[in-house]
């Protein structure tokens, strides 16, 4: 087992070091794009193959711990560097390495020709290694190491094109916001350590076997458990982008699209859900904290969905969609359905990765359109400057023939310049459509089953007497309808109708190469069929089977994930009605966008009508409900102004002043001494005489 765990963890790490060092010290290596990309892909495919082998041979209910070495000892703290193989870690490793492999394959084509190609793949490999540490860790300290590792790698990848200051700012924002959540996580670790070591003798290493033992869990039953779970959740709001720490995730679009797919679908944003699910037995001891989790998840889901409806950048729609879907997952965790949260993590990984990679395929093609339009002088070069002599002529041509449907430069990511792409990009179109219907919740695609289970458990918790859960259920239904509307709008504005870019008769986009379309087809197939792994009980019973993921993860069946117990037992009729309600809402959302507004046929006219119907909600939603402005007014400006008005003067006058003053003093003293060294013999003779007189005088005076 130790060898197999090494084969999962080491290839990404070693290949990150190899490709990085080779590119750093051997510039000719940087031109070997196919070799660099292939080696990086193999480094993730090997862990996936090994995990599949482990998964197929795993004995259900028999977790295995693989210790590698003793890490640290200090007082009662004794931490081992060890990993855990069980149902939850295996499933998460399959998602991370499986989707990660497809994203690596896609990146070989997407990043072709980029000057930073040789840096990109080591960063991706390192990200996968950090995420594997997080999901395979046997204790909270190793998990925290992976937690921080993905934070560092996200900083490197979001700011990959660091020469653009906007990208650097987005990377800094992600890094700083996540540190706030990490601080809460650390305080929770301190509270756990103090609580355990104050009551149980012997060393404690944060290992899950000890932490989740009944005698240890009994220590967390009360206020201390509430605060620990709440602090853990605050940590999760950073990594998994929930209110109030979600603001970094939409800005993470600054990185290359494969990075967005990796972060948004399979890895970093799922960390918070993984943490709560791993500690589900502890979380269930704090029902008040669970109420906070459910409410925050519900508010985040509907708030982000409202913003997604107003976005014109195709990647921004998907980014806010991710925040919204993460809200659904936290709703599940908040009502005690942790296995359902992980189920939605899995299905979301498939359709969201497909959507992001599909948007990347569209953007890749629209960039070619943009370059061709620039070359023909139809639009001004976005580079500007003296090297674009056709700019003035191009501007005139643009105004005369094909004005853009908005002010500003041509934007390859803006859906207002797209339309009709299904004719030129059939593979991207079909896979995007399948994933759109999946996330919208159309049965029997994957998103229908996982989202319906979340709503079902919220309803069940509400009928069990928890009024908050009923509110969460209602918000979930409204958000599900909004999801279907904004995702269908994104598909229709991009692929249906007539082209809206300038000179559409002469300039055509094209389908992406096979390394980019193959991952799309695989992910679309998973988005279509993965829901069968989590059939609703009433559906499973109809077909004489069971919910695989419930039996695989559920503590009641020997798995590692606990769940809340409910006294309310819905009848079969109620379950069928709830399934029907979910289906109707999803179908209604798609129909509103497709038939009601006809986004595909009417294009931007439908958009204007849609925004008019949103009324007073449109303006604040399009401004992201003012979250950035709020943070700027309260925290960012205060810190910047404080630094400018207090720390900068202190640094200038006290720190620099002290150092500079000392320097000036030494220089003045040296200048004085320099006056003595005149080179005149008489002066030196006088100095000797005075010295002799001084010494003799001191001797005589005793």
- The average pLDDT across 5-34 equals 92
Confidence of residue 191 (pLDDT cuts 50, 70, 90): very high
How confident is the model over 535-545, as pLDDT tens digits? 998 998 888 88
Query: Around 5, how many Cα atoms within 13 Å sit in the side-chain half-sphere?
Result: 20
**194-198, 385-389, 518-522: least confidently modelled range:** 385-389
- The average pLDDT across 409-429 equals 91
CA distance 637 to 239: 24
Cβ(519)–Cβ(625) under 8 Å? no
Prediction pTM value: 0.88
| Percent of all residues in the chain with a pLDDT value above 70, rounded to a whole number | 97
Please report the pLDDT score of residue 471 as a whole number: 94
Please report the pLDDT score of residue 400 as a whole number: 47
| Residues contacting residue 57 through CB under 8 Å, at least 6 positions apart | none
CA distance 348 to 440: 11
- Phi-psi bin for 598: left (phi > 0), alpha (psi -120 to 50), beta? left
Neighbours of 74 (CB within 10 A): 8
- Phi-psi bin for 655: left (phi > 0), alpha (psi -120 to 50), beta? alpha
Please report the pLDDT score of residue 422 as a whole number: 93
Neighbours of 483 (CB within 10 A): 29
Cβ(146)–Cβ(135) under 8 Å? yes
Please report the pLDDT score of residue 293 as a whole number: 96
Please report the pLDDT score of residue 453 as a whole number: 94
- The average pLDDT across 51-76 equals 90
| Percent of all residues in the chain with a pLDDT value above 90, rounded to a whole number | 61
- Phi and psi at 207, nearest 5°, equal -70, 145
Please report the pLDDT score of residue 387 as a whole number: 41
Please report the pLDDT score of residue 402 as a whole number: 53
CA distance 318 to 524: 16
CA distance 166 to 227: 37
Question: CA-CA distances (angstroms) from residue 512 to 67, 86, 415, 430, 490?
Answer: 45, 39, 18, 13, 19
CA distance 331 to 470: 11
- Phi-psi bin for 547: left (phi > 0), alpha (psi -120 to 50), beta? beta
Confidence of residue 390 (pLDDT cuts 50, 70, 90): very low
- The average pLDDT across 297-302 equals 95
The residues that bridge with 85 in the sheet, in sequence order, are 64
**201-210, 599-608, 692-701: least confidently modelled range:** 692-701
How confident is the model over 322-354, as pLDDT tens digits? 999 999 999 999 999 999 999 999 999 999 999
- The average pLDDT across 142-147 equals 94
Of the candidates 377, 352, 326, 538, the one whose C-alpha atom is nearest the C-alpha of residue 439 is: 352
Please report the pLDDT score of residue 75 as a whole number: 87
Helix runs in 68-211, H state only: 87-110, 117-136, 140-158, 165-199, 208-211
- The average pLDDT across 276-296 equals 95
- The average pLDDT across 622-633 equals 86
How confident is the model over 670-700, as pLDDT tens digits? 888 777 777 777 778 888 888 888 888 888 7
Helix (H) or strand (E) holding 83: strand 77-85
CA distance 500 to 402: 9
**Quick one: CA dihedral 610, 614, 619, 622, positive or negative?**
negative
pLDDT at residue 386 above 50? no
- Phi and psi at 81, nearest 5°, equal -90, 95
Q: Is 138 exposed, middle or buried (0-12, 13-18, 19+ CB in 10 A)?
A: buried
CA distance 450 to 432: 19
- The average pLDDT across 401-407 equals 66
Confidence of residue 636 (pLDDT cuts 50, 70, 90): confident
The more confidently predicted of residues 262 and 683 is: 262
Please report the pLDDT score of residue 331 as a whole number: 95
pLDDT at residue 391 above 70? no
The more confidently predicted of residues 383 and 156 is: 156
Helix (H) or strand (E) holding 73: strand 64-74
How confident is the model over 101-119, as pLDDT tens digits? 999 999 999 999 888 999 9
pLDDT at residue 385 above 50? no
Please report the pLDDT score of residue 383 as a whole number: 56
Neighbours of 528 (CB within 10 A): 21
Cβ(329)–Cβ(346) under 8 Å? no
Find the Cα–Cα–Cα–Cα dihedral 576, 577, 580, 584, rounded to 10°: -170
Confidence of residue 555 (pLDDT cuts 50, 70, 90): very high
Please report the pLDDT score of residue 252 as a whole number: 82
Please report the pLDDT score of residue 63 as a whole number: 87
How confident is the model over 474-529, as pLDDT tens digits? 999 999 999 999 999 999 999 999 998 888 888 899 999 999 999 999 999 999 99
What single-letter DSSP state applies at residue 567?
S
Distance between alpha carbon 532 and the CA centroid of its chain, in Å?
Answer: 26
Cβ(36)–Cβ(104) under 8 Å? no
Residues 46-70 as b/e (b if ≥16 CB within 10 A, e otherwise) read: bbbebbeebeeebeeeebbbbeeee
The residues that bridge with 414 in the sheet, in sequence order, are 313
**25-29, 172-176, 502-506: least confidently modelled range:** 502-506
- Phi and psi at 155, nearest 5°, equal -60, -45
Structure tokens at 382: 């976005």
- The average pLDDT across 657-668 equals 88
Structure tokens at 475: 């918000």
CA distance 607 to 614: 11
Confidence of residue 459 (pLDDT cuts 50, 70, 90): very high
């Amino acid at each position: 087992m130790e060898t197999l765990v090494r084969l999962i963890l080491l290839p990404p790490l070693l290949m990150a070091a190899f490709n990085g060092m080779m590119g750093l010290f051997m510039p000719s290596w940087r031109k070997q794009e196919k070799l660099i990309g292939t080696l990086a892909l193999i480094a993730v495919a090997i862990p996936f193959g090994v995990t599949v082998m482990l998964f197929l041979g795993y004995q259900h209910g028999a977790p295995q711990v693989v210790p590698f070495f003793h890490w640290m000892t200090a007082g009662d703290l004794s931490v081992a560097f060890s990993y855990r193989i069980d149902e939850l870690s295996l499933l998460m490793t399959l998602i991370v390495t499986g989707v990660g492999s497809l994203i690596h394959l896609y990146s070989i084509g997407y990043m072709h020709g980029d000057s930073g190609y040789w840096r990109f793949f080591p960063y991706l490999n390192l990200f996968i290694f950090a995420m594997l540490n997080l999901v395979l860790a046997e204790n909270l300290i190793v998990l925290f190491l992976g937690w921080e590792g993905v934070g560092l790698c996200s900083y490197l990848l979001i700011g990959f094109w660091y020469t653009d200051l906007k990208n650097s700012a987005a990377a800094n924002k992600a890094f700083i916001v996540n540190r706030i959540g990490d601080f809460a996580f650390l305080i929770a670790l301190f509270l756990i350590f103090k609580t355990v070591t104050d009551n149980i003798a012997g060393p404690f290493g944060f290992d899950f076997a000890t932490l989740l033992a009944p005698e240890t869990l009994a220590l967390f039953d009360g206020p201390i458990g509430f605060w620990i779970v709440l602090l853990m959740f605050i940590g999760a709001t950073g990594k998994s982008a929930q209110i109030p720490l979600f603001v970094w995730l939409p800005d993470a679009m600054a990185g290359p699209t494969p990075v967005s797919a990796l972060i948004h679908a399979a890895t970093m944003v799922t960390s918070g859900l993984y943490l709560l699910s791993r500690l589900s037995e502890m979380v269930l001891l704090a029902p008040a904290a669970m109420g906070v989790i459910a409410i925050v998840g519900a508010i985040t889901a509907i708030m982000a969905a409202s913003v997604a409806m107003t976005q014109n950048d195709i990647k921004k729609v998907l980014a806010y969609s991710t925040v919204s879907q993460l809200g659904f997952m936290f709703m599940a965790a908040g009502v005690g359905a942790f296995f359902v949260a992980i189920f939605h993590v899995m299905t979301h990984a498939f359709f969201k990765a497909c959507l992001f990679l599909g948007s990347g395929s569209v953007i890749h093609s629209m960039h070619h359109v943009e370059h061709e339009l620039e070359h023909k002088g139809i639009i001004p070069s976005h580079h500007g400057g003296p090297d674009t002599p056709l700019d003035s002529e191009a501007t005139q041509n643009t105004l005369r023939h094909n004005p853009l449907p908005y002010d500003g430069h041509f934007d390859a990511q803006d859906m207002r310049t797209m339309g009709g792409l299904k004719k030129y990009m059939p593979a991207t179109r079909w896979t995007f459509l399948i994933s759109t219907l999946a996330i919208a919740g159309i049965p029997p695609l994957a998103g229908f089953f996982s989202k319906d289970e979340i709503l079902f458990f919220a309803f069940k918790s509400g009928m069990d007497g928890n009024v908050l859960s009923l509110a969460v259920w209602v918000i979930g239904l409204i958000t599900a309808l909004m999801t279907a509307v904004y995702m269908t709008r994104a598909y229709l504005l991009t692929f249906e109708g007539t082209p809206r870019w300038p000179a559409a008769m002469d300039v055509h986009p094209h389908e992406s190469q096979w390394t980019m379309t193959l991952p799309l087809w695989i992910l679309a197939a998973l988005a279509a069929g993965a829901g069968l792994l989590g059939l609703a009980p009433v559906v499973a019973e109809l077909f004489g089977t069971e919910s695989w993921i419930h039996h695989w993860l559920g503590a009641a069946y020997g798995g590692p994930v606990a769940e809340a117990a409910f006294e309310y037992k819905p009848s079969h009729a109620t379950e069928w009605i709830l399934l029907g309600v979910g289906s109707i809402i999803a179908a209604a959302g798609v129909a509103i966008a497709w038939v009601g507004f006809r986004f595909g046929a009417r294009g931007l006219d439908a958009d204007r009508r849609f925004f008019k119907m949103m009324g007073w909600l449109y303006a604040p939603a399009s401004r992201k409900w003012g979250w950035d402005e709020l943070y700027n007014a309260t925290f960012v400006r205060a810190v910047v102004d404080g630094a400018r008005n207090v720390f900068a003067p202190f640094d200038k006058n006290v720190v620099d002043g002290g150092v500079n003053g000392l320097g000036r003093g030494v220089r003045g003293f040296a200048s004085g001494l320099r006056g003595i060294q005149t080179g005149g013999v008489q002066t030196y003779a006088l100095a000797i005489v005075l010295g002799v007189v001084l010494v003799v005088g001191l001797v005589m005076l005793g």
